[in-house]
């Protein structure tokens, strides 16, 4: 077969393979793979993409977050307590102060012998070893408090034990040198140095200062790195304050109240002594007393001065408000007379005096001396109940006084448009109206202070800055004649009337007693028990103190006048008070 024939056979249609497309260089370089191999390559590529995206996420998107977590895992941080400002009484005596203390804490991770260290701690700090063992066994944390604000000497004894994982922070602790004396006014702080009650709460922003921060690095097992203090912001100490309280007089007042209430046979009594010319409160208390240095033993309800925070129906001490309204209205003088039957009726209610008597004619002075409900009701009715309502408003008798003490009560009286005759009668002798004892003290102070009403307060100054507190005063009445007559009538209440036991030898005491019925939760008034009170002052005194003494939930045949006398007798000696 020649060459032409071979070529002809190869070129026949339908015989041999189809011509192939030329391969590019890359394809030629790679080995040819089947379908299964291609699937493996795709999976591998997807995995690579996932790892790449995860790497981008960790190193770019959440890098700061994980860095912070890593930082936190090797640091220990806590807040440092500033030195809280000192509270001084009006004579510069320390009432509350912060002293150096040491807070003891542990890193349980570092504790090598939990039981032994727990026994050692109990031996120095007291308490049960089991309690310390429970703290030292908390392996899930690197910080637990062992004892906060321990005595410095106590902490030094623990340091001497050289226990593994036990550390110390310089701290402060609040101390109250006078215990329960003035405790309700001063208040107390919690372990974090925050004011909880009293002036510690009222002036917390001034006293507290600004906490600092402390952050230190620690090693792999939690051990502090030498010199590893990473950040330390010093605490800024708080400011001192000087208050109007006189701790010596406060002690006298508390003892007088305590002894007086035992004689009166009640567990509830209170007192306030205020300078009528300045509004400075020299003493204030209510039973039961509170000891801020030992809150664990303080009774429920002891944390407030109830004469400031709680309202009550004042009873006969309020008759002075009615008498003042009558005098200002020029409806009667102290010697004007009025027929006073034994009983009067209004709106189907009977009004009588607290003691039985016959019909008689009385002067306005005698009405006040003998504390006649009927007499003051008729006298006020004749003058016009609108004058009484006006006086209640002008003397701010149901409004908060603005005293710088937390939780002050306000009071309430029905709007005048809703007054019936019986409401007018009742309010005239101190029923159907609620006030605080402090509001009554402010009113009596206004009478003593020639019609000028002051703002009751405790804060006097900030010694470190020299800032002196300023308080508003208001001229409530310029009726000098009515004021003089009012003082004259309050004086004869003591010399000739129900307040005889309030007198202080050699001094013209003015004041008014009260035996107030107590509203019942079931409606009407409780039977056989009363709230007693006396509010008064020394006329023309060189130190113009006004004092209230109250006793709650007591039998009728009692008075608080003798407690008032004991307090004021001490005050005139302590302050060398003279009277014009």
Query: Which of 539, 577, 546, 552 is CA-nearest to residue 564?
Result: 546
Quick: pLDDT tens for 381-400.
999 999 999 999 999 999 99
Give the pLDDT of residue 489.
98
3 state DSSP class of 29: helix
| Cβ proximity of 447 and 483 under 8 Å | yes
Read off φ and ψ for residue 260, nearest 5 degrees: -65, -40
How many Cβ atoms sit within 10 Å of the Cβ of residue 172? 21
pTM, full prediction: 0.83
* CA angle 382–446–336, rounded 5-degree value: 30
Three-state SS string across 153-210, please? Answer: HHHHHHHHCCCCCEEEEEEEEEECCCCCCCHHHHCCECCCCCECCHHHHHCHHHHHCE
| pLDDT at residue number 33 | 55
Contact criterion met (CB below 8 Å) for 422 and 347: yes
Nearest to 372 by CA among 515, 520, 500: 515
* pLDDT at position 25: 53
Q: Which of 197, 84, 183, 88 is nearest to 460 (CA)?
A: 88
DSSP 298-355: PPTT-SS-HHHH--B--GGGGHHHHHHHHHHTTS--TT-EEEE-SEEEETTEEEE-SS
Which of the 8 DSSP states describes residue 398?
A: T
Strands of 114-196, DSSP E: 144-150, 166-175
Alpha-carbon distance 206 to 18, whole Å?
100
Cβ(135)–Cβ(144) below 8 Å: yes
Distance in angstroms (rounded) separating the CA atoms of residues 495 and 472: 34
CB 432 within 8 A of CB 422: no
Residue holding tokens 């960790």? 58
The span from the CA of 193 to the CA of 311, in Å, is: 31
Q: Which helix (H) or strand (E) holds 508?
A: none
Task: Give the whole-angstrom CA distance, residue 465 versus residue 240.
Answer: 9
| Pairwise CA distance, residues 91 & 279, whole Å | 17
Per the rule left: phi > 0, alpha: psi between -120 and 50, beta: everything else, 407 is: left
Instruction: Say how far apart CA 343 and CA 372 lie, in whole Å.
Output: 11
In whole angstroms, give the CA distance from residue 552 to residue 16.
126
Please count the other Cβ atoms lying within 10 Å of the Cβ belonging to residue 44. 10
Gyration radius of the chain's alpha carbons: 41
Spans of the chain, pLDDT less than 50? 1-18, 26, 29-30, 69-72, 221-223
Instruction: Report the pLDDT value the prediction gives residue 397, as an integer from 0 to 100.
Output: 97
CA atoms 251, 257, 263, 268: torsion sign:
negative
Q: For residues 92 and 480, what is the distance between their CA atoms, to the nearest angstrom? A: 38
């Amino acid at each position: 077969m020649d060459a032409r024939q071979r070529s002809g056979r190869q070129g026949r249609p339908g015989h041999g393979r189809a011509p192939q497309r030329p391969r590019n260089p890359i394809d030629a370089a790679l080995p040819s793979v089947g379908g299964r191999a291609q699937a493996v390559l795709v999976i591998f590529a997807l995995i690579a993409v996932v790892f790449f995206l995860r790497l981008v996420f960790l190193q770019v998107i959440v890098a700061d977050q994980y860095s912070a977590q890593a930082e936190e895992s090797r640091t220990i941080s806590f807040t440092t307590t500033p030195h809280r400002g000192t509270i001084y009484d009006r004579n510069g005596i320390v009432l509350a102060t912060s002293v150096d203390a040491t807070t003891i804490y542990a890193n349980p991770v570092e504790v090598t012998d939990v039981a032994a260290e727990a026994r050692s701690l109990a031996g120095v700090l007291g308490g049960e070893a089991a309690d310390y063992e429970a703290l030292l066994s908390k392996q899930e944390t690197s910080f637990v408090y062992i004892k906060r604000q321990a005595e410095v000497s106590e902490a030094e004894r623990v340091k001497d034990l050289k226990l593994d994982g036990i550390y110390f922070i310089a701290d402060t602790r609040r101390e109250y040198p006078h215990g329960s004396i003035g405790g309700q006014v001063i208040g107390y702080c919690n372990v974090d140095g925050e004011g909880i009650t009293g002036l510690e709460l009222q002036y917390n922003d001034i006293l507290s200062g600004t906490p600092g921060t402390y952050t230190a690095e620690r090693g792999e097992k939690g051990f502090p790195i030498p010199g590893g203090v990473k950040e330390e912001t010093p605490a800024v100490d708080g400011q001192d304050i000087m208050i109007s309280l006189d701790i010596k007089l406060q002690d006298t007042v508390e003892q007088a109240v305590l002894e007086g209430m035992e004689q009166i046979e009640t567990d509830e009594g209170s007192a306030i002594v205020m300078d009528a010319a300045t509004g400075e409160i020299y003493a204030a208390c209510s039973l039961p007393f509170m000891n801020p240095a030992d809150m664990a033993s303080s009774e429920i309800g002891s944390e407030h001065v109830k004469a400031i925070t709680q309202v009550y129906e004042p009873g006969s001490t309020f008759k002075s408000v009615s008498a003042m309204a009558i005098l200002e209205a020029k409806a009667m003088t102290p010697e004007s007379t009025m027929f006073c039957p034994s009983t009067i009726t209004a709106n189907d209610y009977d009004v009588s005096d607290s003691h039985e008597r016959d019909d008689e004619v009385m002067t306005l002075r005698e009405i006040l001396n003998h504390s006649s409900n009927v007499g003051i009701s008729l006298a006020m009715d004749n003058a016009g109940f609108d004058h009484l309502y006006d006086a209640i408003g002008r003397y701010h008798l149901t409004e908060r006084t603005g005293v710088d003490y937390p939780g002050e009560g306000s009071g309430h009286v029905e709007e005048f448009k809703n007054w019936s005759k019986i409401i007018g009668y009742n309010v005239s002798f101190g029923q159907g109206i609620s006030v605080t004892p402090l509001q009554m003290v402010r009113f009596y102070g206004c009478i003593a202070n020639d019609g000028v009403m002051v703002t009751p307060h405790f804060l006097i100054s900030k010694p470190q800055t020299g800032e002196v507190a300023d308080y508003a005063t208001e001229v409530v009445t310029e009726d000098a004649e009515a004021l003089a007559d009012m003082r004259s009538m309050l004086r004869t209440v003591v010399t000739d009337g129900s307040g005889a036991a309030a007198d202080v030898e050699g001094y013209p005491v003015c004041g008014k007693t009260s035996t107030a019925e107590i509203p019942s939760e079931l409606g009407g008034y409780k039977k056989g028990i009363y709230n007693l009170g006396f509010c008064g002052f020394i006329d023309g005194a060189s130190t113009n103190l006004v004092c209230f003494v109250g006793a709650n939930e007591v039998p009728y045949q009692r008075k608080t006048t003798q407690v008032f006398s004991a307090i004021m007798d001490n005050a005139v000696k302590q302050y060398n008070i003279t009277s014009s």
